[in-house]
Amino acid sequence: MARTAAHRDSPPDTLIVADVGGTFARVALATVRAGAAPQLSGLQRYACAEHPSLAAILAAFIATLPAAPDSAVVAIAGLLDGDHLVNTNLPWPVSVARTRHDSGLASLALINDFEAVAYAIPHVAPETMVALNGDPEPGPRWPALVLGPGTGLGAALRFEGGERPVLA
């Protein structure tokens, strides 16, 4: 119990979060506190074709903030191959290092969009879940599979814990 109280007393972290698809990028601020679901604010939507790069979208969002965080996590469809994202549906190439530099961020993580959904599973309200087989139980059961249509069929597998709790 004391551990939970300590989490509540520690200052929250604020970072930029984004979901980037082939058509639109949705960008917001996330306030994160250990042991709690992230709180989102300031959601903006940007048309990808109207911007020359992911860095330009992030910089446009940062320009709207009174005090900008220096970290961001971007969920994006595709496969990260070293520093570059492989995605044929975006109007521009994506390099992690160049995007970090050009947007002025100190820290930038790109993750697969379905990987992001899998990380969110513990924060999903039990009443919004539907059991596909067996008796429904409140809350997630492990392992959990995320599937969804997009340009292709996206998938991610979530485990209860461990060093790498999500495979996408």
Question: Does 30 have pLDDT greater than 90?
Answer: yes
Domains detected in the chain: 2-123 (3.30.420.40)
Give pLDDT, residue 90.
84
Structure tokens at 13: 């972290």
pTM of the model as a whole: 0.82
Q: Could you tell me the pLDDT band of residue 141, with boundaries at 50, 70 and 90?
A: confident
3-state secondary structure of 62: helix
- Name the average pLDDT for the chain: 85
The CA-to-CA distance between both ends of the chain, in Å, stands at 34
Question: Does 2 have pLDDT greater than 60?
Answer: no
Helix 54-62 vs helix 96-103: crossing angle, to nearest 10 = 30
- Could you write out the DSSP letters of every residue in 114-142? HHHHHHHGGGS-GGG---SSS---SS--S
d(CA 63, CA 61): 5
Specify whether the CB–CB gap between 138 and 94 falls below 8 A: no
Note the pLDDT tens digit of each residue in 104-128: 999 999 999 999 999 888 888 877 7
Q: Could you tell me the pLDDT band of residue 49, with boundaries at 50, 70 and 90?
A: very high
Q: Could you tell me the pLDDT band of residue 78, with boundaries at 50, 70 and 90?
A: confident
Tokens 């520093």 sit on residue: 83
